[in-house]
Amino acid sequence: MSADRPGVAGVVVVGGGQAGFSVVSTLRAGGYDGPVTVFADEPHLPYQRPPLSKKAHTEPDELRVSLVPESFYGERDIELRLGDDVVALDTADRTVRSRAGLSVPYAHLVLATGARNRPLPVPGADLAGVHAVRSLDDALAVGRALTTAQDVVVIGGGFIGLELAQVARARGARVTVVELADRLLSRAVSPQLAEHLRRRHEESGVHVHTGTAVQAIEGTDRVRQVVTSAGTLPADLVVYGIGAVPRDELARDAGLAVDDGVLVDEQLRSVSDPRVSAVGDCARHPHPHAPGLVRLESVQNATDQGALVGRRLAGQPPAPYANLPWFWSDQGAVKLQIAGLRAPSDDVRLVAGDTPGRLAAYAFRGGRLAAVETLDWPAEHLAARRLLERETPVLADELTDTTLGGLARARRAAEVRA
Amino acid sequence: MPTVIFQLPDGTERKVTAASGTVLMQAAVSNGVAGIVAECGGNASCATCHVYLDAAQSELAGGPNDVEDEMLDFTAAERRPTSRLSCQVQLSDALDPMLVHVPEEQV
Ligand SMILES: Cc1cc2nc3c(=O)[nH]c(=O)nc-3n(C[C@H](O)[C@H](O)[C@H](O)COP(=O)(O)OP(=O)(O)OC[C@H]3O[C@@H](n4cnc5c(N)ncnc54)[C@H](O)[C@@H]3O)c2cc1C
Ligand code: FES
Q: Residue A82: is its pLDDT beyond 90? A: yes
Residue A382 to chain B, least CA–CA distance (Å) = 6
Binned at pLDDT 50, 70 and 90, residue A67 comes out as confident
Q: What order of strands is seen across the sheet that includes strand A326-331?
A: A326-331, A334-340, A368-375, A359-365, A347-352
Handedness of CA A171, A53, B105, A13 (dihedral sign): negative
What pLDDT, on a 0 to 100 scale, did the predictor assign at position A16? 97
What pLDDT, on a 0 to 100 scale, did the predictor assign at position A412? 85
Q: Residue A2: is its pLDDT beyond 50? A: no
Q: Residue A60: is its pLDDT beyond 90? A: no
Express as a percent the part of chain A with pLDDT over 90: 89
Q: What is the mean pLDDT of chain A?
A: 94
A337:B45 CB<8 A = yes
Decide: helix, strand or coil at residue B99: strand
Q: pLDDT digits over B54-100, tens only?
A: 999 999 998 999 999 999 999 989 999 999 999 999 999 999 999 99
Q: pLDDT digits over A357-386, tens only?
A: 999 999 999 999 999 999 999 999 999 999
List beta partners, residue A352.
A359
What pLDDT, on a 0 to 100 scale, did the predictor assign at position A89? 98
Q: Confirm or reject: Cβ of B29 under 6 Å from ligand 2.
A: no
Q: pLDDT digits over A293-331, tens only?
A: 999 999 999 999 999 999 999 999 989 999 999 999 999
More confident residue, B99 or A64: B99
Q: How many CB atoms lie within 10 A of CB B92?
A: 14
What pLDDT, on a 0 to 100 scale, did the predictor assign at position A20? 98
Instruction: Measure CB to CB from residue A379 to each of B32, B37, B73 and give the nearest one.
Output: B73
CA distance A340 to A369: 9
A378:B71 CB<8 A = yes
What pLDDT, on a 0 to 100 scale, did the predictor assign at position A327? 94
Give the residue from chain B lying closest to A380, CA to CA. Answer: B71
A9 touches chain B (CB under 8 A): no
What pLDDT, on a 0 to 100 scale, did the predictor assign at position A3? 35
Terminal alpha carbon distance of chain A: 42
Q: pLDDT digits over A156-189, tens only?
A: 999 999 999 999 999 999 999 999 999 999 999 9
What pLDDT, on a 0 to 100 scale, did the predictor assign at position A7? 39
Q: pLDDT digits over A126-154, tens only?
A: 999 999 999 999 999 999 999 999 999 99
CA distance A119 to A121: 6
The alpha carbon of A50 is separated from its chain's Cα centroid by a whole number of angstroms, namely 8
Report which ligand 2 atom has the smallest distance to the Cα of B87: 4
Interval between CA B74 and ligand 1 midpoint (Å): 28
Q: pLDDT digits over B19-60, tens only?
A: 888 899 999 988 888 889 888 888 888 899 999 999 999 999
ipTM above 0.95, yes or no: no
Give, in degrees to the nearest 5, the angle at Cα B21 between B20 and B26: 100
Instruction: Measure CB to CB from residue A29 to each of B34, B41, B47 and give the nearest one.
Output: B34
Within 13 A of A276's CA, how many CA atoms are on the CB side?
30
Pocket test for ligand 1, best of A67, A84, A113, A264 (most atoms within 8 A of CB): A113
Helix, strand, coil distribution of chain A in percent, nearest 5: 25, 30, 45
Decide: helix, strand or coil at residue A3: coil
Report which ligand 2 atom has the smallest distance to the Cα of B42: 1
What pLDDT, on a 0 to 100 scale, did the predictor assign at position A302? 96
What pLDDT, on a 0 to 100 scale, did the predictor assign at position A6? 39
Instruction: Measure CB to CB from residue A409 to each of B41, B71, B73 and give the nearest one.
Output: B73
Q: Dihedral, CA atoms, A87, A89, A94, A98, nearest 10 degrees? A: 0
CA distance A385 to A382: 5
Helix boundaries (H) for A123-255: 136-146, 159-170, 191-203, 249-253
Can you give the three-state secondary structure of A242-296, one letter per residue? CCEEECCHHHHHCCCCECCCEEECCCCEECCCCCEEECHHHEEEECCCCCCEECC
B32:A386 CB<8 A = no
Helix (H) or strand (E) holding A299: helix A299-313
- In the stretch 31-90 of chain B, residues with CB closer than 8 A to chain A read 31-32, 34, 37, 39-41, 43-47, 67, 70-71, 73-75
B107:A304 CB<8 A = yes
